[in-house]
Amino acid sequence: MKTVQLGDTQNRVSAVALGIMRMVRLNTTDAAKVLNVVHDHGVNMIDAADIYGNGESEKTFGAALKQSGLKRDDFFIQSKGGIVLDPKRSRGDLVFGQRYDFSKQHLLKTVDGILQRLQVDYLDSFLLHRPDPLMDLSEVAAAFDELQASGKVRHFGVSNFNPMQVDLLQSAVSQKLMINQLQFGVMHTGPIDFGLHTNMQDDRSINHDGEIIEYSRLHHMTIQAWSPYQYGMFAGTFIDNAKFPKLNEELQKLADKYGVTKNAIATAWILRHPAHMQVILGSMNPQHLTESIAGADVTLTRQEWYDVYFAAGNDLP
User: How far apart (Å, rounded) are the C-alpha atoms in residues 57 and 226?
Assistant: 17
Instruction: Specify the 3-state DSSP secondary structure of 36.
Output: helix
Provide the pLDDT for residue 199.
85
Over residues 128-145, the mean pLDDT reads 96
Provide the pLDDT for residue 91.
59
Q: What is the pLDDT of residues 12-27, one digit of tens each?
A: 999 999 999 999 999 9
CA geometry: angle at 94 spanning 88 and 99, to 5°?
Answer: 55
Element at 251 (helix H, strand E): helix 245-258
Instruction: Determine whether 70 is exposed, middle or buried from the number of CB atoms within 10 Å of its CB (0-12, 13-18, 19+).
Output: middle
For 288-302, letters b (16+ CB in 10 Å) and e give: bbbbbbbbbbbebee
* 88, 42 contact by CB (below 8 A): no
**Which is more confidently placed, 236 or 112?**
112
pLDDT, averaged across the chain: 94
Report percent pLDDT > 90 for the chain: 85
Instruction: Determine whether 268 is exposed, middle or buried from the number of CB atoms within 10 Å of its CB (0-12, 13-18, 19+).
Output: buried
Confidence of residue 97 (pLDDT cuts 50, 70, 90): low
Q: What is the pLDDT of residues 168-202, one digit of tens each?
A: 999 999 999 999 999 999 999 999 998 888 888 88
User: How far apart (Å, rounded) are the C-alpha atoms in residues 66 and 229?
Assistant: 30
Strands 153-159 and 123-129: parallel
Q: What is the pLDDT of residues 289-314, one digit of tens each?
A: 999 999 999 999 999 999 999 999 99
Provide the pLDDT for residue 90.
61
